[in-house]
Chain A
Amino acid sequence: MNIDDLIQISNLAILVPLFPMASFVVLTVLGLYRKSQIASSISILSIFSSFVVSLLLLISLLSQGSAEGNWTWISIASFTFDIGYTVDPISVLMSLLVTSVSLSVQIYSISYMSGDPRYGWYYAAHSIFASSMLALVLTNSLLFLYISWELVGLSSFLLIGFWYEKRSAAEAAKKAFITTRFGDVGLLIAIIMLYLETGTFHIQEIISNLGMIDGSKLTLIAFLLFLGAMGKSAQIPFHIWLPDAMEGPTPVSALIHAATMVAAGVFLVARLFEIFILQSSVLWFICLIGVSTSILAGFMALGHIDFKKILAYSTVSQLGLMFVALGAAGLGHHETHSSPAAGLFHLVTHGYFKALLFLIAGVALHSIHKSSATIYEVRGLRINAPITSIAMLIGALCLIGIPPFSGFFSKEMILAAPLEIGGVGGTLLFLAVLFSCFLSAIYMTRLVLVVLQGDPLGDQGQLSDPPFPMMLPIIILTGTSVVSGLVLVGPFNILGFISDGLSFHVDYILASLSIVIGVGGIIIGLICFNKTDKLSPDVVKYLRPLNVWVDSGFYFDKVTNWMIEKGTLGVANLVALFDRKIINDLFVDGIGMSPNFMGGFLRFTQTGYVAHYVTILAVSVTILFGIATLV
């Protein structure tokens, strides 16, 4: 590495995760987290610097193309572990998303979290989260990716359990950490297998050496990698942690559980897309998991009345769609179309509008001084908080996919993906995705109708538009939600950006179908939920069985608990029994007891009477001599 390389602009990439990390270290080691104002200023400054550097990286990428840098991290005998960054379309896109949403959320938190006794610590945790997430997207080494992946899990744990005095929050943090860990095991095994097969952690080298790995092993690796993605991105059956994670402060939900951390799974699949691309069985599995997650979570979003949980299930549902887009892109017949662009596109647009919706939920919750509330408790937002209401309407329209808002473009690309597969499977997948979009239109309409309409409850008079520091991020995110779709398909061609030679073209039939589905969902929502809190009795009776299933979250929690109780604890008890009876009693205690036992037996020969000893001596000597003479 010489001087010329050092002044390369892309080398600034290492600064992107380093700024927030420095902020975390300064806040914790120097104890500055006790000083609220200083803590938030340092943290916001650091993430703003990261955002600026990310913009510089984008400029560098557009002018000079992809770049990467490598440094030796550890060198033991013949093993060397490198640490490095890669500046390519995916990483720059992700780092821009992460830094911009983080920045908005941190500015928003200034007044949202004000007065909290651990205000400074909140910013420290935000900083380490941002740092690890940025390292995750920018690194070029799977080893470092895994380290960041776990750090993301850790900081998510810290932030979900931020109000750890509340038992439910502590439980939710634990649940999130343990559930995602199941997937992480798969990811770790896959990374180790890739290292054993190719001898490197470097992502580009691994991808160029994929030919060295035989087919069945590669399928297993792809499957295990996807397992990791399922855990982080809350896909069935690992989705159970995400709704519970809403116990954290609302800005945390906006940042981590809508825009960034849950996107890590999608990012992982997109980053290692070449590994998945020829594994059609794994790709079908991805599609299947994605589409079933999407539909089930859509139903659950429709059934819940908790504001944040509706948004959480909606997030799960949209993440499912992203996986469908990724899986279907790999299955598509045209080699040229095998691009993770559609999934990533939806990741970006969804990141913005879902963060926006969460921040709006935060406005409503903040003004009634609660950390969670049902949608009926915050009714009448339109009267007291008109600007917030407009922002919410725009966020909802983005999610439903009404042009010209961003969700429309990304959903249109997701819908196009299954059609590329063709055949019966592709058609069924397409219809399922369409149904999921339809569901999202209905539940968003319900959410918006209930929250915006109606008269405010009597004692909720303080429901109002938030102060400026909270309003600014909402306005910014509304702006990005509106324009990100148009910009990314129009002047800034995301398809060509991620995969060279592709360009976005609107399929008018598909687009109108998507609009029809969205508008249809809105109309059905308007009919069902207009001016009423609940469905009409006839419809309720008709939907009763479905409702029972939805209320219980399709029994996923119950089944998981049952599996832990019967399966895990059963096996654990067996192992414990083996340990207690065989290892402890037989081997450890047994060895100690055997001299004891023999001694107890032999002590009966020690009568203490000299006469007995002499007799035994005489008799045995006589016998010995007798034997000796006979022989």
Chain B
Amino acid sequence: MIELQILLVTAAAVFCIGLYGVMSRRNAVLVLMSIELMLNAVNINLVAFSRYVYSSNVVGEILVVFIITVAAAEVGLAMAIVLRLFRNWRTINLDAVSNMKN
């Protein structure tokens, strides 16, 4: 049981770091990386619960594989947007591109 708690605390820590990154960074690439951190924290949770609580099946692990796949696709899309952003504005500072306001 100790291992489960260590894993959950670790996952929570990673999630918080990711959240902090999303909230504080202005660099679009860094924000993306932070989102990846949060996703990975979720993955850790899933694997941990799958191993220690519902050990009779591998539903958690399979879900993790899905999340990694979707995350990879999402990063590809997001990086493309960031690239277009840079081409148009010569910056990837998210605060600088808030021109939908007003």
Contact = CB atoms under 8 A, between A and B. Distances in A.
Q: Do A and B bind each other?
A: yes
Contact of A611 (B23, B99, B100, B101): B23
A608 B101 contact: yes
A-side interface mostly: helix
Nearest to B100: A608
A257 B94 CA distance: 89
Contacts of A608: 98-101
A610 B31 contact: yes
Contacts of A606: 101
B94 A610 contact: yes
Nearest to B19: A618
A542 interface: no
A614 B101 contact: no
A615 B101 contact: no
B23 A609 contact: no
A72 interface: no
A611 B19 contact: no
Contacts of A614: 19, 22-23
A607 interface: yes
Interface in B15-34: 19, 22-24, 26, 31
B3 interface: no
Helix, strand, loop or mixed for chain B's interface?
helix
Nearest to B101: A608
Nearest to A622: B19
A610 B30 CA distance: 13
A429 to B, nearest CB: 85
Contacts of A607: 98, 101
B94 A609 contact: yes
What's the interface size class on A, roughly?
Answer: under 10
Tier of interface size on chain B: 10 to 19
Nearest to A611: B23
B93 to A, nearest CB: 11
A610 B28 CA distance: 10
B101 to A, nearest CB: 3
B102 to A, nearest CB: 8
Contacts of B94: 609-611
Contacts of A609: 94-95, 98
A590 to B, nearest CB: 27
Nearest to A610: B94
A611 B27 CA distance: 11
Which of A606, A607, A614, A618 is the most central at the interface, judged by chain B CB atoms within 10 Å of its CB?
A614
Interface in B43-102: 94-95, 98-101
A611 B23 CA distance: 5
A365 to B, nearest CB: 79
B95 to A, nearest CB: 6
A615 B95 contact: no
Interface string A364-396: 000000000000000000000000000000000
Interface string A588-631: 00000000000000000011111100110010000000000000
A618 B23 contact: yes
Contacts of B24: 611
Contacts of A615: 23
Contacts of A610: 22, 31, 94-95, 98
6 contacts: A607-B98, A610-B22, A611-B22, A611-B23, A614-B23, A615-B23
Interface of B: 19, 22-24, 26, 31, 94-95, 98-101
What 6 pairs across the A-B complex have the smallest Cβ distances? Answer: A608-B101, A608-B98, A610-B94, A614-B22, A611-B23, A614-B23
Given A610-B98, A611-B94, A611-B95, 10 more contacts: A607-B101, A608-B100, A609-B95, A610-B22, A610-B31, A610-B95, A611-B22, A611-B24, A614-B22, A618-B19
